[in-house]
Amino acid sequence: MTALPEPQGHPWLAMPDHLLTLEEYLSLGETESGYTELVEGRLHMSPSPRRAHNVASLKLAMQLIPQLPGDLEVVQDIDIDLGDLAGNGLAFSRRPDLVVVSKAAGVRLDADGGIYQASEVVVVVEIVSPGSKRTDYVTKHGEYADAGIPHYWIVDLVDRASLVACHQAGVFGYQDAPAATGTFTTTEPFPLKLDLDQLDS
């Protein structure tokens, strides 16, 4: 049997031998062959998204921008500190496809560094990729709800683009609306109309 070559180059390739704090995770910097998230102190790596996924993310952001209230902005592919979701002192950080956040939070990041806090996020958006369906519909659904993010939208590009809008429903976590196709219209957390068919490439 041929042994795999030892990782060379980037420090993140040398897998840590302990559960990471959020600060240790952030110190790893950017990866070259994908991106990582932190799940209960453990690195979770996903491959870089495919072209159709990135195109849909850009088109969705372009539709959102002119409809956002003046105090909000949309940001692509950026880390969010979800806090200690398991109550065991271990960190969670996810990197959603899009987030709608307060502009004030962006000013804070530019001035002081760090990453967005879950409390600063109004909407978190995940676009389902091959291999991420259960993660997006189940795992992140629970994590984002537990972190207190008010709205979670799941965009699925299989067959015809659809959007499942989830919103906080108290102790029950997220309540999920039926999947929308064609046009998605909502008044919460702000008036919005999206043409989901534009997301299909």
The residue length of the chain stands at 201
Query: For every one of its 201 residues, what pLDDT tens digit does the chain have, with 9 covering 90 and above?
Result: 444 344 444 554 456 678 888 888 888 776 555 668 888 777 877 777 788 999 999 999 999 999 999 999 999 999 999 988 878 888 889 999 999 999 999 999 999 988 999 999 999 999 998 888 999 999 999 999 999 999 999 999 998 999 999 999 988 899 999 999 999 999 999 999 999 999 986
pTM: 0.86
Q: From residue 10, give the alpha-carbon distance in Å to each of 25, 32, 44, 134.
A: 14, 8, 16, 30
Could you give the domains of the chain? 49-84+92-199 (3.90.1570.10)
